[in-house]
Amino acid sequence: MSAETARAVTESGRDRQARLRAEVDDAPSISAGEYRGISRRSFLTAGAAVAGGVFGFYGLQKRPEIDNIPDVTRRFHRLNERIWSTGFRDDHLAPTYSPAESSILRVNGRIGIRSEIDLETWTLEVHGSDGTVLGTHTLDEIMALPKHEMIIEHKCVEGWSQVTTWAGARFSDFQGWYPKYADTGYVALETPGGDYYVGNDRATMDHPQTLLVYEMVGGPLDQEHGAPLRLATPLKYGIKQLKRIGVVRFTDVQPADYWAERGYDYYAAL
Ligand SMILES: Nc1nc2c(c(=O)[nH]1)N[C@H]1C(S)=C(S)[C@@H](COP(=O)(O)O)O[C@H]1N2
Ligand SMILES: [Mo]
C-alpha cells in the first residue's frame, strides 16, 4: 500500500482539515475550533436542536463527517439553511457607518489572485449547475447596472474587523439577467482558474447589501483587493467574499467551498 493510500484509509476528517490548513500560507491564524467558538454556530446549533427536536446537540457534534459534509437528512439540511444562512435577519439591513469611520481595508488572503491579471481581457463567466456557459460579461456591462454604495464593517474569521466603503452592482440586479436561475439554492463563485472557490446560499445572494464590487472608498478596486470584481456582503465573514470573480455558477447542489473543506463553518454567517 502506498503512503498516499494508507493516509487516505487512516486519516480522520479532523486530521485532513488540519493537513489542508497547514498546506496554505494564507491559513487563518486561529483554528477552526476557535473560530466556531466566536461564530454563532454553536449557539444556533443548540437552538436548532431544541427548537426542531431533530437531533440532540451532542449527537450533532458527534455525527460522522465524510469529506466534511455532515451526514444529515435533507430535511435537517433545509433547517440548517434557514437558520445559518442569514441568521434570523431576513431582509433587514446590517448596520452602516459614516464615511469618517471608513478606510481602505488591509489586504488579507491572496489565494487565486497572486499573479496579476489583464483587467482589459477579464470577463465574468456565468455557468449552469452542469458547467454549461450561460453568458459572459465585461466589467462595463456590470457597471451599467444601478450603482450602490455601502459603508459596512468587514469581519474576518482571524478576529479583526474594519469599516470600509464598497460600491458596485447588487447581485440581485445581476441575477435579473438570469431569471430562470433566480431560485437555485446556491450561487458558487470561483477565481479564474478555480484556486479559490466559495458557495453562498440564495438568501445571502438576494440580499440588497450583497454587491458585485468594483470600487473601494471611492476609487477603483486594486488587484490585491479583488479587481476587477469581487463580492462584498455584511452577512458573511470575509472568507465568503471572493476577490477576483471569474465564474458565477447557479446550482441547487451545495458548492465546494475552500475554507469549509478546511474545517470552517459552511455558512460563515454573521
Ligand atoms: N480570491 C480570494 N478571495 C478572498 C480571499 C482569498 O484568499 N482569495 N480571502 C478572503 C478573506 S479571508 C478575507 S478577510 C477577505 C479580505 O479582503 P481584503 O483583502 O480586501 O481585505 O477576502 C476574502 N476573499
Ligand atoms: Mo478573512
Delimit the domains of the chain by residue range: 3-61, 80-109+121-262
User: pLDDT value at position 118?
Assistant: 97
Ligand approaching nearest to the C-alpha of 240: 1
pTM (2 d.p.): 0.79
Instruction: Return the number of other C-beta atoms located less than 10 Å from residue 16's C-beta.
Output: 18
Mean pLDDT, the chain, integer? 82
- pLDDT confidence bin for 15, thresholds 50/70/90: confident
Atom nearest to 191 CA in ligand 1: 1
Ligand 1 center from residue 106 Cα (angstroms):
10
Ligand 2 center from residue 1 Cα (angstroms):
39
Q: Is 250 in the pocket of ligand 1 (CB under 6 A)?
A: no
Q: How far is CA 42 from CA 29, 37, 111, in A?
A: 20, 7, 28
Residue, of 86 and 270, whose pLDDT is higher: 270
Q: Is 217 in the pocket of ligand 1 (CB under 6 A)?
A: no
Q: Is 246 in the pocket of ligand 1 (CB under 6 A)?
A: no
Long-range contacts of 223-226 (CB under 8 A, 24+ apart): 223/113, 223/116, 223/117, 223/119, 224/107, 224/110, 224/113, 225/105, 225/107, 226/113
Report, as an integer, the average pLDDT of 112-140.
97
Which tens digits make up the pLDDT trace of 156-192? 999 999 999 999 999 999 999 999 999 999 999 999 9
CATH class as words, domain 80-109+121-262: alpha beta
